Amino acid sequence: MSMDSLRSHPLRTARALPSLWAAVLLLHGGVSRAADVVGRIGSIEVTSGEIRAYVESLPAQDQAALARDPALLSQVVRTYLARQAVLHEAQSKKYDQQPSVKGQLDRVRDEALTELYLQSVSRPPEGFPSEAEVRAAYDANPRAFQTPRQWRVAQIFVARPADKDAEEKARRKAEEIGRQARQKGADFASLARLSSEEKDSANRGGEIGWLAEDQMVPGVRSVVTALGKDAVSEPVRLDDGWHVLKLLDSKPAAIRPLSEVREAIVAQLRTERARANRQAYLGKLLEQNPPAINELGLSKVLARGK
């Protein structure tokens, strides 16, 4: 598994990593063997400590994916082992000693060291932000934490066939299903399980789930938003077929409570403070050490070879 596949998971901060390290240790028998080998490729062995350091170097979204699903860890170890095998081969062939490669490695090292140092001098203190600062950020922009109005919808779907004669038959089937579903006391969920041709929702009694207005196509949106609770629509004709819709519930737009968004606010405030600290540090550094540029010499840089 590549790190790109991990990045496809939803972003959130990785606060559940202790369970991840439990999974590392379980790979080889528990806490007492924390330094044991957890992977091997050829003569190369890696320990749980190495994997811990590797995971901690990954982007936050990758760490979050691992925290949600520790089963991904074995795939991460495979990726790490493959990279170690490539590194071993490059070193055995002294690839890093080639002049052009050595120059690139020096530049990469210098850039990495510069960035790590900038991060260290820009990092906000551990106590930042305070609870008062979090509350102030929350109160300053309530719209940022608003959830839109939502509708909980179920459907019975009849697919549109390519054949014209069959299409008419399908239309009549959808109309009959809609008629049955609108009868007093009708069991929509049972009818969906029996008749719906969209199997995923059919297995859930037709339930699609909660939808915001912008998650519904126009033809469905106008029907659903006009339904009363527990009402069933006439078949809605879309390109793929007919949808008999039932509104199970709805909820108005609301502001998410601070308890739900505190973590996101803290992360955002820390990011903003780190960015400001970095700019302030660089500004002060340049003020204390004003750059001097030889414009004449600089003009020859891009002219070389022309």
Identify the residue with better confidence: 60 or 152: 152
CA gyration radius, the chain: 30
- Return d(Cα 233, Cα 63) in angstroms, integer: 45
Packing angle, helices 73-92 and 17-26, rounded to 10: 70
Task: Write 104-110 long-range contacts (CB < 8 A, 24+).
Answer: none
- Phi and psi dihedrals of 233, rounded to 5? -85, 165
Residue 163 in this model has a pLDDT that exceeds 60? yes
Q: Quick one: DSSP state of residue 214? A: G
pLDDT attached to residue 237:
96
Q: Is the pLDDT of residue 245 over 90?
A: yes
| pLDDT at residue 306 in the model | 55
Q: What is the pLDDT of residues 56-78, one digit of tens each?
A: 888 888 888 888 888 899 899 99
Q: Is the pTM of this model over 0.85?
A: no
Tokens 């009818």 found at: 191
Tell me the percentage of the chain whose pLDDT exceeds 70. Answer: 88
- What percentage of the chain carries pLDDT values higher than 90? 72
Of 107, 110, 119, 127, the residue nearest 57 (C-alpha): 119
Angstrom distance (rounded) from CA 178 to CA 234: 6
The least confident of 59-63, 131-135, 159-163, 177-181 is 59-63
149-252: CATH, from 3.40.50.2300, 3.40.50.1000, 3.40.640.10, 3.10.50.40: 3.10.50.40
Number of Cβ within 10 Å of residue 80's Cβ equals 18
Which is higher by pLDDT, 48 or 223? 223
Residue 235 predicted with pLDDT over 70: yes
- Look at 5-9, 16-20, 90-94, 259-263 and tell me which has the smallest mean pLDDT: 5-9
- Identify the band that residue 13 occupies on the pLDDT scale cut at 50, 70 and 90: very low
Can you give the pLDDT at residue 64? 85
The whole-number pLDDT of residue 114 equals: 97
| Residue pointed to by tokens 């078949």 | 235
The lowest-confidence range among 62-76, 83-97, 128-142, 238-252 is: 62-76
Q: Domain limits of the chain?
A: 3-93, 149-252
Lowest mean pLDDT among 1-5, 130-134, 162-166, 301-305: 1-5
Per-residue pLDDT at 35 exceeds 60: no
Give the mean pLDDT of 78-89.
93
DSSP string for residues in the chain: --HHHHHTSPP-----HHHHHHHHHHTTTSGGGTTSEEEEETTEEEEHHHHHHHHHTS-HHHHHHHHH-GGGHHHHHHHHHHHHHHHHHHHHTTGGGSHHHHHHHHHHHHHHHHHHHHHHHHPPPTTPSPHHHHHHHHHH-GGGGEEPPEEEEEEEEEEPPSSHHHHHHHHHHHHHHHHHHTSTT--HHHHHHHH-S-HHHHTTTTEEEEEEGGGS-HHHHHHHTTPPTT-BPPPEEETTEEEEEEEEEEE--EEPPHHHHHHHHHHHHHHHHHHHHHHHHHHHHHHHS-----HHHHHTTTTTT-
Res. 25: pLDDT tops 70: no
Rounded mean pLDDT, 154-182: 95
Task: Reduce the DSSP state of residue 82 to 3 states and report it.
Answer: helix
Q: Helices 48-56 & 73-92, crossing angle to 10 degrees? A: 100
Kindly report which listed range (50-59, 124-133, 268-277) carries the lowest average pLDDT score: 50-59
Say which residue, 190 or 164, is predicted with more confidence. 190
Q: What is the pLDDT of residues 113-141, one digit of tens each?
A: 999 999 999 999 999 999 999 999 999 99
Mind spelling out the 3-state secondary structure of 177-203? HHHHHCCCCCCHHHHHHHHCCCHHHHC
Q: In whole angstroms, what is the distance from residue 228 CA to residue 56 CA? A: 50
